[in-house]
Structures are given as C-alpha cells and as structure tokens.
Structure 1
C-alpha cells in the first residue's frame, strides 16, 4: 500500500483527532491483517490520492478525506463505495465531528457503538498509590518470563485476554501470532506490560495491564484484562492503579484510556479514579441491509 501518512497527518492536524486508529494504520503496511483499501483521487489531478478508506475483515471501516478537498461530495462518494463493498460495514467517526454526523445522517446510518476516551492528569495522576490485595503480587513481563518461562507467560496472557475480550471485535480471539504483531511496534516496552499473580497458586495469572507511551509523551492504559475466575473481587481497580503508577514513574503528564460507553460499571470506576471524558468515537451503520 502506498504511504498515506501525510494524508492522515494533515487530517489529524485539521480535525484535532486522528481519522485512522492504530490497527487501521498498521493494516496499511501489514497485508496479513487482510484489510481492503479504497482511494479517492483529486478530480483535477489524476493519481493524487486525496481520500482513503480501510475495511477490516469484520466489516469495521475508517475513512478520511484531505482537508483541502472536503465539502465536494468526495466523502459521501467514498462512504458509499465502502457500503457497496460491505453493506454491513460499521463506519468509525473518530471524535464524532459534526461533518461525520451529517454524513452518517445523509446515508441513513445510525450510531451502533460509542467508545469513550477518558483522561487523567495533574494532581489526580501524581497522587495515585498502589495497594495490592493480600496474596497478590505484581510482575513485569520480563520478571514473569524469568520466573515462569516466556512461553508459559504468553500462553496464560492470551488465555486471560481472550476470556476478558471474548465479545470484543478487535481485542478478542487472539493467538500467539496476533500477540507478537501487537508487540512488534516502535513504542512497545516490556517494562510497561504488568501482570497480577496470586490466588490459590502463586503462578496463577489473575490479570494483566498493558501500558503505552505515545510519541507525544502522553501515557495510555492500553489494555486491561481480568481472568474470569478473578472477576467480582475488585481487582480491576488494582490493575488500573498498577498502570497509573508505572506511567507516573516514567514521567507522563497525562494518561488516557478507551472504554465502551455502555460499560457503565467501568465508566463509573474510572470516574471515581478521576478520569473525565475527553473524546467520543462512534460507529455508524445502516439501519437495514442495503440491497
């Protein structure tokens, strides 16, 4: 796939939010993710790409039009092509900007999913303290690998991940190859992958916390996973605290996380920790299948 980083960067600068998620950007250069890509060219300069759409195998889709070529119907045309390709497509509107809402309405699409970006900074971040329940201990990826072996750690990590995200279209159903692809990024830091062990057996994995530091210096609670056997014991908060303490130690000024808007218990838990909603990302899909 041609390098479209300039198009994505220019749209991000204009909108204040990136049009493509990390997974969709990765799919532009990783054919093993099996995304379908559509492009829109400048009507006055054939060959110059001014619009781009990506469609994942599960039907989720993202698209972008260069800021200088908007309000010409190119976005509507590109969205229609996506829906022609995948009538069941769910179009992500990152930031849920007014233009995206208007486009969705014009195509008869409705909101089917909302993802919140919540943020924490200042004194609320600096005051975070870690209190692990009795019998539980925290290990980094490297520490756990030294103690239990890397293969065993990754096996348990995947098991807990797939238990926690059995319902999730992007995070669930992972295998070893998918995990390794996720770790094969410039920002990956094994010190930022934290595991919570304990229970009846010292080697039993209760949950994991995966953190990320963005190039901007912003920290992220990237993935939080809790094993089925340990749910309902208040360990989710401990996992988040593990991540916050780690990110504070590496000096980030702000921490963000993503959470489904309809996951009311999780949203409340994050609000209790001081997180506030910073962005909203919405999926729009057809009310009925197109003929």
Structure 2
C-alpha cells in the first residue's frame, strides 16, 4: 500500500499563553498543501524501516512512522510490516512533514489490516505522536487551538490560487523561536480573518514567531519581502520557520522557488 503524506502551512500563528505543562497554547489555521513524501507499508516476515531521499537526522527509532506502528501494534494483533519512506518535505521547516508521515502510517495500518478505527480513534493515537499529527488524519483546513490538537474544521478553499514556497535551510530551534515571543491574545481572531478576502490578510494575519526570528535572521525576512515584490497577495513564514510561502493569483513562470497549484 502506498500513500503520499503532504505538508501543511500555517495561515497565521498566535502564541496565546504559556501552559502549566511547559507547552504553549496557540491559535492557527492549518492548511494542507501539495508537497508530498511517499510512504509504502507492506506486510512482511519481520519489521523494518527504510528511508530514502532527504537524510533524516536523529535516531531512527524515534521516527514517527515506527512509533505509529508500535502504537497500533500495542493494541491490535497486526503482523510485522516493511515501511519505505521517500522524504521530500524538509525537516524542521514548519511544514509538518514528519507529523504527516506518522499520521499517514496510522491511516494506512488501519486500512491495510481493516482495523475499523474511526477518525476520532486515529486522532487519539496521532496525538500521542505529536501535537500536529491529529490534523493529518482528516487532512482538511482547520483552526487549531491548544497545543495544535484541538481542531475546528472550516470551509476554506484556495484552489483558485498558486503557492510559492521556499525553505532557506536555516534551522530554527524551538528554544530560539519562543525566546522573543510574549504570549498574548491576538487583536483579531484568525477564523474571522481567513473568512475575509485574501487581499485583507496582509495587515491582519500574523505569525507571532516572525517577531522573534526576523531580527536574528534577516534572510528569512527578506525572503518574505521578495514574495511580495513578486506579486504575492499574502506572504508569511510558516510554523516556527524557516520556510516562507506566498499566495499568488497567477502562476510565476520560471520561479526560483517551489511552486504549486493549491
């Protein structure tokens, strides 16, 4: 069985408050985009995991695809599998690629072995993998609250637009991203902003991490400016960086960045 886990972007990201558990409450609009990894899961005599494409840092045992299999295996009598992951989505880029891989593994195991798990049950498993993971179970535009796991589905269709996206390869640690952010309630609700025409987003829809990151990484700030200079209706950093995207009402010929039809 083969699937194509996709990335997501954050349309606005507000850091609302610090939690007692050390995490932060956020508010954001998660939107799926057509930048894909490729994932294959097949029944096998013994368990194995193989990654290809972009090198994945860290210990292989911490990979979310493996953790997803272990979660399902603990509760259900499923046989060993062989997992192949072709990694195209950059890691640590605010695109949720690893979260998507873990969530899609859950979905594939459910389908492959006909476990009959509901979306709610799959989302419960996904939350054990990470805060962004539940989003990729239904994989539809949503307002995310709490740590990102509280999802309110919304009707937002950007299919008439084009997306330019670039990851400059700058690693932003979680510690660095949060260092200059002061949690606060936003002046404008994200769900109200994204209901407006995209032309109104520029002055209203903000990523709070930009305040923390741009002063230390002018390359990322300049990348956002370049998107607007090229004619983007809206441009922003996604997640805690360093990826920047621009939404256009026309296709850019010979674009130097990744370009997708939404």
TM-score, length of structure 1 as denominator length: 0.28
TM-score, length of structure 2 as denominator length: 0.30
Give the structure with higher Rg (CA): 1
